[in-house]
A and B are shown apart, each in its own frame.
Chain A
Amino acid sequence: MADDEKVKVDAIVVGGGPAGLSAAFTMARAGLEVILIERGEYAGAKNVGGLVYGAVLNRLIPNFWEQAPIERCVARRSLVFLNDDMHVGLDFGADEWTRPPFNNTFVVHRSQFDRWFSKQVEAAGANLIEGMVVEDLIYEETAGRKKAVGVKLRGDEAFYADVVVLADGANGLVTEKVAQTLGLKGGKTAQDYAVGVKEIIALPKATIEDRFQLDDGQGVALDFFGSPFKGLTGGGFLYTAKDSLHLGFAAKMETLAHAGVSPNEVLDGLKRHPVVRKYIRGGELQEYSAHLIPEGGFHAVPELTGDGVLIVGDAGGFVNMSLYKEGTNHAMDTGRLAGETVVAAKKAGRFDRAGLAGYEAAVRQSVAWKDLKRYRKVPEILEKSPNLLSLYPAKANRMIVDFFTVNGLPKGVAQRKAICSFLRGLPKWAFVRDVIRARGLM
């Protein structure tokens, strides 16, 4: 390609998920010339999720919920501990969650939501190129130092830019190659992945609202723990969309491999649990999906900048896998910060690592970083104390059910029996240690 035909812009973003879209939006709005490349037929075609956290997006697009394809706001949440034949739930909600900004928590269909977001990015002035695969970056070498100067597309095309923002997600092949080429350091620990699988189950809107006791437009997010997950490090979820349910689960890859169970079988087991079975009764499956989740947390976050590159979102491992399970907001936050960094670098005219160092500094001040840091021990806690997700909740469930079992015994006797049964077979010192450790999950 002759030099004068070379397409050169200010920044190229690889990947049209929340992180890449936020980066592109931020840069385009500041007047930079931006190309975003998405390998799916449309942004969202490869993306999976059910909840979107909107605090960052609300800063980028104020009151986005008035125009975005939101299925329902999350008016209620529920933590449900399942034994094979009993359950205990903790249900909570607030009226204020049903009013703007809706607790910044929304049920969405990510393929539709991300696609909508990509249209806003386009409207802000970025060029969206869909259905193209980035194979690798293009580098220029000066004095033995490589700097990214563009992207190589499958089929020989190339685009050039001062900076490439890597937002290729949990299954980010481009980020992997770049880290190797530029020698970007990994985190203190290797990234640790969970596999998530999910079904979309259609039900009439009125049925959903009756079954889950919801007003129009309001939804519920349930998290499941316990026996359907067979001691895996993971749990399930059910989110109500407008006229469908998201039902799925995620578990650490290693624990799945070790147990030799297939994700689809575990999901079917969850669907057969009496609690879940009643929720999905009569529903019709619309779609089955799978996705990786980077769960290594704080210690697995790699070096985020190199000469001419920035890493954002899942590609950088920005997922908080505590009880809160937030990822989309951190993706958007790191994307936004990367975008702002590039805007500043453009003014200064420097795109090497030092010129982009503002990104790592800004990330260290961000909510994403603070949350990942706060929950840095989560992977270790779950590995060292597997009983937190299996034995203890099972015993606690039994005890609570026993307390409320009416069987003709005097309450004093029944309660003593319930407590004795809880303590029987309980590794007491380990229990105390695990409970103290478990504070790190909240």
Chain B
Amino acid sequence: MSEQKNDAELTLADKLYRTKYEPDAAHPHITVDQAICDRCGERVCLKICPAEVYKADPADPKKINVSHENCLECGTCRRACKLCSVKWNYPDGGKGVKYRFG
């Protein structure tokens, strides 16, 4: 008997797509100091962010790309980054993630 398609098969991109945002592409609320990231061995941000906002650049694996528009605003990254490379501020008022259920 074939199992009915389960939500466990959803990718993170699918999950974020179903979550509502008020995007603000012009004002990134997260930046990283690439010079600090260059000498980071741990790179905790790549794994610990629930929305995978931080990704190693495919062309230059030392470089960290930040997709701030996917941010769920939990604030995990700024506390997990021991080198304090992550500069995180609140998005502008009314912008960013907008939970309908929460």
- Name the A residues within 8 Å of B99 (CB-CB): 44-48, 110-111, 287, 289
CB of B10 within 8 Å of the partner chain: yes
Q: Contacting B79 at CB < 8 Å: which of A111, A289, A292?
A: A292
- Name the A residues within 8 Å of B47 (CB-CB): 256-257, 260-262
B96 → chain A closest CB, angstroms: 8
Tell me the total A-B contact number using a CB cutoff of 8 A: 150
Q: State A282–B7 Cα separation when bound (angstroms).
A: 8
- Name the A residues within 8 Å of B86 (CB-CB): none
- Closest Cβ neighbor of A288 among chain B residues: B15
Chain B interface extent, by class: 35 or more
CB of B50 within 8 Å of the partner chain: yes
Q: Is the interface of A mostly helix, strand, loop or mixed?
A: mixed
Q: Is the interface of B mostly helix, strand, loop or mixed?
A: loop
Chain A interface extent, by class: 35 or more
- Closest Cβ neighbor of A44 among chain B residues: B102
Tell whether, in the assembled complex, residue A199 and residue B7 are in contact, meaning their CB atoms are under 8 Å apart.
yes
Known: A264-B12, A285-B14, A286-B18. A253 touches B102 (CB 8 A): no
Which one of B8, B10, B89 has the greatest number of beta carbons of chain A within 10 Å? Answer: B8
Q: State A193–B3 Cα separation when bound (angstroms).
A: 37
Tell whether, in the assembled complex, residue B52 and residue A262 are in contact, meaning their CB atoms are under 8 Å apart.
yes
Tell whether, in the assembled complex, residue B48 and residue A195 are in contact, meaning their CB atoms are under 8 Å apart.
yes
Q: State A190–B34 Cα separation when bound (angstroms).
A: 28
B64 → chain A closest CB, angstroms: 16
Q: State A130–B50 Cα separation when bound (angstroms).
A: 26
- Closest Cβ neighbor of A195 among chain B residues: B76
CB of A344 within 8 Å of the partner chain: no
- Name the B residues within 8 Å of A170 (CB-CB): 75
Question: Interface of B with A (CB < 8 Å)?
Answer: 3-4, 6-8, 10, 12, 14-16, 18-20, 22, 42, 44, 47-52, 72-76, 79-80, 89-94, 96-102
Q: Could you write out 8 A-B pairs with CB less than 8 Å apart?
A: A39-B93, A41-B93, A41-B94, A46-B96, A46-B99, A110-B101, A114-B102, A283-B7
Question: Interface of A with B (CB < 8 Å)?
Answer: 39-41, 44-49, 109-112, 114, 130-133, 154, 170-171, 173, 193, 195-197, 199-201, 244, 253, 256-257, 260-264, 268, 271-272, 277, 280-292
